[in-house]
Amino acid sequence: MQRQAPIADPAVTVNFDGQSGELVILDQTLLPGEVRYLRLTRPEEVREAIYNLRVRGAPAIGVAAAYGAYLGACRSRASDVPGISRDFQAASALLKAARPTAVNLAWALERMAHAFRASAHLPPTGLLAGLKTEADLIRTEDEEVCRRIGENGLALLQPGWGLLTHCNAGALATSRYGTATAPIYLGEQKGYAFRVFADETRPLLQGARLTAWELNAAGIDVTVICDNMASMVMSRGWVQAVLVGCDRVAANGDAANKIGTSGVAILAKHYGIPFYVHAPLSSIDPACFSGRDIPIEERAQEEIAEMWYARRMTPQGVKTFNPAFDVTDSALITAIVTEKGVIRPPYTESIRALFP
């Protein structure tokens, strides 16, 4: 079941309708041309939405996965807790396999598994209520985390600065505010008058379609540039800071983010521009030693060859390489902005301090 809506409220990018028992997501594959909400009732539908980027952004897919696991338990035909457990675990495994790079997905599902174990002694109605409460907490905590990231990130910026973003780490990628865009939204409220340059972010155009759409709707000065124009914009002195999100931060500070991020970091280093990664603690993986240990998702060649064109734009039979993410070396990252504060090199020490 699908619902049309006017301008999207970032608060309902991903949400749960308690009355109907449906997960409500904004279908981001249709933006900016069409605003449509999808109402999902089965974990298979949630998995499809995550894999096909209808809901995307590490925090948002964590929230969606939590509710997807809950739906798996709700739709169980079993009348006893062991039977519900089997269906819950099957739904969780299905969702976890949807996208491997973003650690928030596994993190949220582990929280749901813990909530299941904590309520397993209750009758089925109590067990389901416990799962719903945990999924709701994951969503509301994400909103507060993003607000704190915004406050901490804004302290690094000055009014009137030019800011460059890559991909979409905005309200569309979280429960509200975004991660890398949170300082921009909070700065707008305080009259900072930032000028934002949004990389289009090939091949899926998250910057051109999503970041530009939501910032423009919020009245923020935003200019879309092709990815290969970032050096020109930086060389003219139009950019004073680069703000990006991430899908996973390793224990040594290496950060995986949308493909092309590492190139932007190299350019920022060359021009002496600070490069800030914005990451909730749920995106930091202290068990992952370095960026070499982060699994990188590879996606279908159609995203490069066909998706945005009236007809195919590469010759038939020509190979493509389509990694969804790359890893930015910690040496290129000026600071990592978290909800607990701004951490700086050496990251092996500052990250360890976040996880006593």
- At 103 the pLDDT is 84
The alpha-carbon radius of gyration of the chain (Å, integer) is 20
Residue 325 pairs in a beta bridge with 258
DSSP string for 307-329 = TTSSS--S-TT-----BSEEEE-
> Is 247 noted as a catalytic residue in this protein?
yes
C-alpha to C-alpha distance for 130 and 83, rounded to whole angstroms: 17
- At 4 the pLDDT is 30
Residue extents of the structural domains in the chain:
2-146, 150-354
Query: What pTM, to 2 d.p., does this model score?
Result: 0.90
Joined together, the tokens standing for residue 321 give 């390489």
- At 215 the pLDDT is 96
Pick the CATH number of 2-146 from 1.20.120.420, 3.30.70.260, 3.40.50.2000, 3.90.550.10: 1.20.120.420
- At 176 the pLDDT is 87
Top-level CATH class of 150-354? Answer: alpha beta
For 270-319, how does the pLDDT look when each residue is reduced to its tens digit (9 = 90+)? 999 999 999 999 999 999 999 999 999 999 999 999 998 999 999 999 99
For 228-237, how does the pLDDT look when each residue is reduced to its tens digit (9 = 90+)? 999 999 999 9
- At 102 the pLDDT is 74
- At 308 the pLDDT is 87
- At 3 the pLDDT is 30
Flag residues of the chain having pLDDT under 50. 1-11
Q: Which long-range contacts (CB under 8 A, 24 or more apart) does 74-77 make?
A: 74/21, 74/128, 75/41, 75/42, 75/43
C-alpha to C-alpha distance for 156 and 171, rounded to whole angstroms: 20
Among residues 87, 247, 254, 326, the one annotated as catalytic is: 247
